Amino acid sequence: MRRLSACAACLILAGAGAASAQEPAFQGEHNDWRVFTRGEGEERICYATSRPTDSRPGSVDHGDVYFLVSTWASGAAEEQPSFLAGYALQPDHAPVVRVGSSRYQMYVSQQEGFVEELRDEQRLVDAMRRGYTMRVEAMSTRGTATAYEFSLSGVTAALEQVERLCS
Protein backbone atom coordinates (compact mmCIF):
# COMPACT_ATOMS: atom_id res chain seq x y z
CA MET A 1 0.00 0.00 0.00
CA ARG A 2 2.88 2.44 0.66
CA ARG A 3 4.40 1.86 -2.78
CA LEU A 4 2.48 4.51 -4.65
CA SER A 5 3.79 6.15 -7.77
CA ALA A 6 4.27 9.87 -8.19
CA CYS A 7 5.56 9.20 -11.72
CA ALA A 8 2.55 10.84 -13.38
CA ALA A 9 3.22 14.01 -11.42
CA CYS A 10 6.82 14.01 -12.58
CA LEU A 11 5.89 13.48 -16.20
CA ILE A 12 3.57 16.45 -16.04
CA LEU A 13 6.28 18.39 -14.22
CA ALA A 14 8.61 17.52 -17.07
CA GLY A 15 6.13 18.95 -19.57
CA ALA A 16 4.68 15.68 -20.86
CA GLY A 17 1.10 16.35 -19.74
CA ALA A 18 -1.66 18.58 -20.98
CA ALA A 19 -3.00 21.35 -18.79
CA SER A 20 -5.69 20.04 -16.46
CA ALA A 21 -6.97 20.21 -12.91
CA GLN A 22 -4.45 17.49 -12.07
CA GLU A 23 -1.46 19.51 -13.24
CA PRO A 24 1.06 19.97 -10.41
CA ALA A 25 0.95 23.30 -8.66
CA PHE A 26 4.31 24.82 -7.77
CA GLN A 27 4.36 25.66 -4.06
CA GLY A 28 7.90 26.80 -3.36
CA GLU A 29 11.62 26.48 -3.90
CA HIS A 30 14.19 25.73 -1.23
CA ASN A 31 17.69 25.97 -2.69
CA ASP A 32 17.99 22.85 -4.91
CA TRP A 33 14.56 21.38 -4.03
CA ARG A 34 11.13 22.38 -5.31
CA VAL A 35 7.73 21.59 -3.79
CA PHE A 36 4.60 20.73 -5.77
CA THR A 37 1.07 19.54 -5.03
CA ARG A 38 -1.37 17.73 -7.26
CA GLY A 39 -5.03 16.95 -6.67
CA GLU A 40 -7.36 18.03 -3.88
CA GLY A 41 -8.68 16.74 -0.58
CA GLU A 42 -7.78 13.14 0.23
CA GLU A 43 -6.45 12.73 -3.33
CA ARG A 44 -3.86 15.47 -2.81
CA ILE A 45 -0.22 14.47 -3.28
CA CYS A 46 2.55 16.74 -2.01
CA TYR A 47 6.14 16.19 -3.00
CA ALA A 48 9.61 17.65 -2.90
CA THR A 49 11.71 17.04 -5.98
CA SER A 50 15.18 17.76 -7.26
CA ARG A 51 17.12 17.22 -10.46
CA PRO A 52 20.69 15.93 -10.46
CA THR A 53 23.56 18.39 -10.31
CA ASP A 54 25.73 15.88 -12.20
CA SER A 55 24.86 12.97 -14.52
CA ARG A 56 27.30 10.27 -15.69
CA PRO A 57 28.27 9.21 -18.26
CA GLY A 58 28.15 12.57 -19.95
CA SER A 59 28.00 10.98 -23.40
CA VAL A 60 24.42 9.61 -23.11
CA ASP A 61 20.95 11.17 -23.14
CA HIS A 62 19.60 10.69 -19.62
CA GLY A 63 16.19 12.21 -20.31
CA ASP A 64 14.37 13.83 -17.40
CA VAL A 65 15.72 12.51 -14.09
CA TYR A 66 14.27 13.39 -10.67
CA PHE A 67 14.44 12.32 -7.07
CA LEU A 68 11.20 12.77 -5.13
CA VAL A 69 9.94 12.49 -1.59
CA SER A 70 6.14 12.22 -1.66
CA THR A 71 3.35 12.38 0.90
CA TRP A 72 -0.33 11.59 0.28
CA ALA A 73 -2.94 13.63 2.18
CA SER A 74 -4.90 10.40 2.63
CA GLY A 75 -2.06 9.01 4.74
CA ALA A 76 -1.42 6.19 2.25
CA ALA A 77 2.27 7.20 2.18
CA GLU A 78 4.43 9.63 4.13
CA GLU A 79 7.82 10.83 2.99
CA GLN A 80 8.15 8.09 0.38
CA PRO A 81 11.45 8.48 -1.50
CA SER A 82 11.62 7.51 -5.15
CA PHE A 83 13.92 7.91 -8.13
CA LEU A 84 12.52 8.63 -11.60
CA ALA A 85 14.78 7.99 -14.58
CA GLY A 86 14.25 9.36 -18.05
CA TYR A 87 14.65 5.83 -19.43
CA ALA A 88 13.65 2.25 -18.62
CA LEU A 89 15.55 0.84 -15.65
CA GLN A 90 16.97 -2.67 -15.65
CA PRO A 91 15.06 -4.61 -12.95
CA ASP A 92 17.89 -7.02 -12.11
CA HIS A 93 20.31 -4.10 -11.54
CA ALA A 94 18.07 -1.89 -9.42
CA PRO A 95 19.23 1.58 -8.35
CA VAL A 96 21.30 2.11 -5.23
CA VAL A 97 21.11 5.35 -3.24
CA ARG A 98 24.09 6.55 -1.19
CA VAL A 99 24.09 9.35 1.36
CA GLY A 100 27.38 9.62 3.21
CA SER A 101 28.44 6.09 4.17
CA SER A 102 24.84 4.76 4.12
CA ARG A 103 23.54 2.67 1.21
CA TYR A 104 19.91 1.97 0.30
CA GLN A 105 18.87 -0.66 -2.23
CA MET A 106 15.91 0.08 -4.48
CA TYR A 107 13.67 -2.06 -6.64
CA VAL A 108 12.40 -1.12 -10.10
CA SER A 109 8.90 -0.42 -11.34
CA GLN A 110 9.31 0.65 -15.00
CA GLN A 111 11.19 3.98 -14.88
CA GLU A 112 10.97 4.38 -11.11
CA GLY A 113 13.05 3.10 -8.25
CA PHE A 114 11.61 2.61 -4.76
CA VAL A 115 13.44 1.79 -1.53
CA GLU A 116 13.40 -2.00 -1.27
CA GLU A 117 12.87 -2.28 2.50
CA LEU A 118 10.04 -0.18 3.96
CA ARG A 119 12.01 0.29 7.19
CA ASP A 120 14.77 1.98 5.16
CA GLU A 121 12.51 4.68 3.70
CA GLN A 122 12.58 6.83 6.83
CA ARG A 123 16.27 6.08 7.35
CA LEU A 124 17.01 7.40 3.86
CA VAL A 125 14.92 10.53 4.39
CA ASP A 126 16.65 11.15 7.74
CA ALA A 127 20.05 10.72 6.06
CA MET A 128 18.99 13.17 3.34
CA ARG A 129 18.10 15.76 6.00
CA ARG A 130 21.58 15.38 7.57
CA GLY A 131 23.57 15.04 4.35
CA TYR A 132 25.07 17.34 1.75
CA THR A 133 24.88 15.22 -1.38
CA MET A 134 23.17 12.03 -2.50
CA ARG A 135 24.33 9.65 -5.22
CA VAL A 136 22.04 7.33 -7.19
CA GLU A 137 23.55 4.58 -9.33
CA ALA A 138 21.31 2.87 -11.87
CA MET A 139 21.42 0.83 -15.07
CA SER A 140 19.30 1.19 -18.18
CA THR A 141 17.70 -1.75 -19.95
CA ARG A 142 20.35 -1.18 -22.63
CA GLY A 143 23.02 -1.99 -20.06
CA THR A 144 24.34 1.55 -19.61
CA ALA A 145 25.55 2.17 -16.05
CA THR A 146 24.53 5.65 -14.88
CA ALA A 147 25.21 7.74 -11.79
CA TYR A 148 23.60 10.92 -10.52
CA GLU A 149 24.62 13.41 -7.83
CA PHE A 150 21.84 15.34 -6.10
CA SER A 151 22.38 18.32 -3.84
CA LEU A 152 20.56 18.02 -0.53
CA SER A 153 20.66 21.77 0.06
CA GLY A 154 17.11 22.81 0.95
CA VAL A 155 15.66 19.32 1.34
CA THR A 156 14.78 19.80 5.03
CA ALA A 157 12.84 23.02 4.36
CA ALA A 158 11.15 21.42 1.34
CA LEU A 159 10.05 18.39 3.38
CA GLU A 160 8.72 20.64 6.13
CA GLN A 161 6.63 22.47 3.53
CA VAL A 162 5.38 19.15 2.11
CA GLU A 163 4.30 18.11 5.61
CA ARG A 164 2.40 21.38 6.15
CA LEU A 165 0.66 21.10 2.78
CA CYS A 166 -0.45 17.48 3.13
CA SER A 167 -1.21 17.14 6.85
Strand boundaries in 101-144, DSSP class E:
102-109, 112-115, 133-139
Say if 43 falls within a structural domain.
yes
Angular region, 79: left φ>0, alpha ψ -120 to 50, beta rest: left
Q: How far apart are CA 109 and CA 139, in angstroms?
A: 13
For 10, half-sphere exposure in the C-beta direction (CA atoms, 13 angstrom radius) is: 23
| Total number of domains constituting the chain | 1
**Which pLDDT value is given to residue 21?**
52
Range of the domain at 150: 25-166
Does residue 15 lie in a domain region? no
User: Residue 35 is part of a domain; what is its CATH number?
Assistant: 2.60.40.1880
Q: Which residues of the chain have pLDDT under 70?
A: 1-21
pLDDT at 22: 77
Looking at residue 57, what is its pLDDT? 94
Residue 48 lies inside a defined structural domain of this protein:
yes
* Cβ neighbours of 143 (radius 10 Å): 8
